[in-house]
Structure 1
Amino acid sequence: MSETNPFKITMLGPSLLQQGGISGYEKLFLEYAPAEVKICHIITHEEGNVAKKIMVFLKAIWKFIWILLRQEVDIVQLQISQRGSILRQAIMMLLAWVFHKPIIIHAHGSQFHLFYAGLPKSMQRLLGWIFRKCQRLIVLSESWKSFYIENLGLKPEQVVVFYNPVKIPAELPQRSVSGKVNLLFLGRIGQRKGAFDLIKAISFLPIQHRTRASLIMAGDGDVEQARNLVTTLNLEDYIKLPGWIGSNERDILLAQADVFLLPSYNEGLPLAMLEAMAWELPVIVTPVGGIPEIVTHLENGLIVNPGNPEQLSNSLKSLIENENLRLSLGVKARKSVFTLDIKNHWISFLDLYHSILNSNVELSLKS
């Protein structure tokens, strides 16, 4: 394809104004789209009351059908997670299939396995049938690839691993410090991301380490519950919860931080972690989802078990007291995500588009 005859991609996903990993990915993907790709982004979900959500989805269906009728799309690309997202995007997949359009499903859901396990067998079979209509299912790790092949019956060649991309900052701050060690958590405040475990871990630190550290936990979710726990444990001098922040504020916090923490129970492949690594931060994370395929313990980060505040506290203690370890882990973390640069991600996508459209041409010629 060329600029005069670009790939016409219809991408269906949540609003770019929405908070969360998929919206963050969409914004980065669209920002770096090359000239030979023309993307029509259709919003299938937006935060609000039930009536607003239904109206947004109905408008998305109408817009999508109009594009299909006018033959203004080469490939349909769907961003999915779990629960309601699956229902909405399954309807869109069926529409694309009826119109014989190639389908790419991009699976981001960190808890899809739990959602799938809770479905009746008949619904599992139906979901597998719908998923098998796609030309490619993009997953965030090899472990997720195995899950979809084994449970939804997709062929191995249908499922491809694309790690989440990251924008690599060109300039970095000088992080050698003699004062406080700035700790940073970015993500939805709640049990799944290990936010309450992290607060408890700070309370377990010896006082001489606690007074040397300051933690910012930025994100939406159960913020008041977290603040109450901070107050209960008398940690107001050590932990701040500013709520959700924009991308500019996020970059400022990443520049000021010395350690990034994300002690999650479930993940796909967290963008926040990759961003922190790109900013040359050592990370303390858990071996869930695609994280172990990126982070190796004591090489480019520290790995702790989910739901273990004591272990998390000990890992924090080691980084607070050992500046050399902090800095060396950070340098290696940055190097390990160079290959995940958004520009490389787009090269992989262009290859994928070419492959799918060439396969479609071959099938048309055979028939």
Structure 2
Amino acid sequence: MKKLNVVMLGPGLEEKGGMGSVETLILNTAPSEVKIEHASTWDGESSTLKLFSQAVTFFLGKLLRGKVDLVHIHVAEGGSTVRKSILALIAFAFRKPVIMHAHGCEFHLFYEKLPKLPKIGLNWVWRRCSYIIVLSESWKKFYSDRCGLKPEQVVVLPNPVAIPESIPDRQNSEQVKFLFLGKINQRKGIFDLLQAFAQLPPPQREKAQLILAGSGEIEQATNLAQSLQIDQQILFPGWITKQQCQELLAQADVFLLPSYNEGLPMALLEGMSWGLPAITTPVGGIPELVTDKQTGLLVNPGDITGLKEAMQSLIEDRSWRLQLGKAARDCVAPLDVKIYSRSLFDIYYSVGARKENQDAKITNLKRVAE
């Protein structure tokens, strides 16, 4: 099989979010016949303009040297959409096929606010792409209906997860540890979560601990915990390393993600892969993954009473907690990164084969013309 040279453009691999994790998993599982070179367009810390300029320079260099067969672009909403559209236009100018990988959990909100002309331009870019990879059927429907894409052009590929070979025995947990991993902010439902935890009856609250790991509005969350007089049972470890993340997942009993908007969050997949029942919300691709009362508990965004009742039920009923956790782990088994990689690289090969056929037709036409 001919070697495929792929340029991947997206956030830095150390980016504090799911996109960087997905990119890393893809790079780590690429077969020998696929060479992927990654360029960072944003890392959340450096100058966005400087980093993006460096990525464009790298990309143009590869294109001019003929070292690109396929372009894989990871995109979110807002400024990410603008930057990635520019990169796609550059690829089109060099007649290179583009796979656009949509991660933005709030893209629908961004898109609906766009004026008419930018919306038309963005739709044109999407339609020129070989494929748009989305995270769920609900997102496929959005991109097909709102952006005018052909259904066969939009491929549903849920985020992958590295399934741990074994998980701890949680039969004898004396304290129920509730774990959140992600951005500490309102969109993730953190302040709702603190209110709900404070409303737990004291006997149940004394049996529990709330661990909120991530960066963001930690000071505001800490102040709220103190005002609710629950700060002694709340732990804010800040942003953690991959190793620390694995340790917290091994120690936890329940995963929490009461978000208002999501794509298909990597943190949720990781929590479920560790056998943790999830208390989360039916937003984005989550309800296609979590079935209420079977693989987790679904609570509407902003429903503080519902959050409290869900936490209380899992504190009180150990056997149900363990049953939901086992079902959650079984549920995400098909999303193992090995299975995901085969699906993704099949898409790569199909695009590569299509490009070879197109190039062959153009060559033949030139020969006939001569």
Give yes or no for TM over 0.5: yes
TM-score of the aligned structures, taking structure 1 as reference length: 0.97
Distance 2:209 2:176 in 1: 6
Work out whether 1:290 is the aligned partner of 2:281: no
User: RMSD in angstroms over aligned alpha carbons?
Assistant: 1.1
Indicate which of 32, 51, 70 corresponds to 1:56. Answer: 51
Task: Work out the CA distance in 1 between the residues paired with 2:31 and 2:337.
Answer: 11
What is the match of residue 230 of structure 1?
A: 225
What residue identity is the alignment partner of 1:301?
Answer: G
**CA-CA distance at 1:365 after TM superposition:** 4.1
Specify the alignment match of 2:240 in structure 1. 245
TM-score (norm 2): 0.96
Letter in 1 for 2:88: M
Q: Which moved more, 1:333-342 or 1:234-243?
A: 234-243
* In structure 1, distance between residues paired with 2:33 and 2:171: 43
Amino acid at match of 1:264: S
Q: Does 1:205 align with 2:200?
A: yes
Of 177-186 and 89-98, more deviation after overlay is shown by: 177-186
Aligned residues: 362
- Listed as ranges, the matches of 1:182-331 within 5 Å are 182-331=177-326
- SS of 2:170's partner is coil
**CA deviation string 1:13-51 (max 9, x = no partner):** 1111221111111122212222221111011112236xx
Quick check: 1:17 aligned with 2:53?
no
Letter in 1 for 2:41: T
Match of 1:209, SS? Answer: helix
Q: Distance in 1 between matches of 2:316 and 2:45?
A: 45
Give the match's secondary structure for 2:9. strand
The alpha-carbon distance between structure 1 residues 172 and 366, as it changes in their structure 2 partners (threshold 3 A), is same
Unaligned runs of 5+ in 2: 363-370
Q: What is aligned with 2:73?
A: 78
Matched, 1:123 2:118: yes
2:44 to 34, 44, 47: 47
Q: Which position in structure 1 is the counterpart of 2:343? A: 348
How many angstroms apart in 1 are the aligned matches of 2:30 and 2:172? 38
Match of residue 31, structure 2, among 26, 29, 34: 34
Match of 1:141 in 2: 136
Letter in 1 for 2:188: K
1:310-346 deviations in Å (ceiling 9; x for gaps):
1000010000000000000000100111110000011
Q: Paired residue for 1:89?
A: 84
Distance in 1 separating the partners of 2:120 and 2:180: 38
Q: Displacement, 1:207?
A: 0.3
**Counterparts of 1:178 and 1:201 in 2: how far apart (Å)?**
22
Q: Tell me whether 53-62 or 26-35 shows the greater mean CA deviation.
A: 26-35
1:72 counterpart SS class: coil
3-state SS in 1 of match to 2:195: helix
Residue segments in structure 1 that go unaligned for 5+ positions in a row: none
SS at match of 1:237: helix
Instruction: Judge which range, 157-166 or 237-246, deviates more.
Output: 237-246
Deviation at residue 359 of structure 1 after TM alignment? 1.9
Aligned-pair distance for 1:178? 4.6
Secondary structure in structure 2 of the residue aligned to 1:38: strand
Aligned counterparts of 2:185 and 2:336: Cα–Cα separation in 1: 29
Structure-1 separation of matches of 2:302 and 2:292: 18
The alignment partner of 2:231 has SS state of coil
Q: How does 1:160-171 map to 2 (within 5 A)?
A: 160-171=155-166
Runs of 4+ in 1 over 6 A off after TM superposition: none
How far residue 108 of structure 1 moved from its aligned partner, in angstroms, is 0.3
Shift of residue 356, structure 1, vs aligned partner: 1.1
Partner of 1:361: 356
Percent sequence identity is 49
SS at match of 2:243: helix
Shift of 1:242: 1.3
CA distance in 2: counterparts of 1:350 and 1:108, whole angstroms: 18
Give the counterpart letter for 2:335 in structure 1. Answer: L
Name which of 98, 102, 107 aligns with 1:107. 102
SS at match of 1:188: coil
Structure 2 distance, partners of 1:336, 1:178, is 23
Deviation at 1:297, TM superposition (A): 0.6
The answer as to 2:155 corresponding to 1:155 is: no
Cα separation, 1, equivalents of 2:273 and 2:43? 29
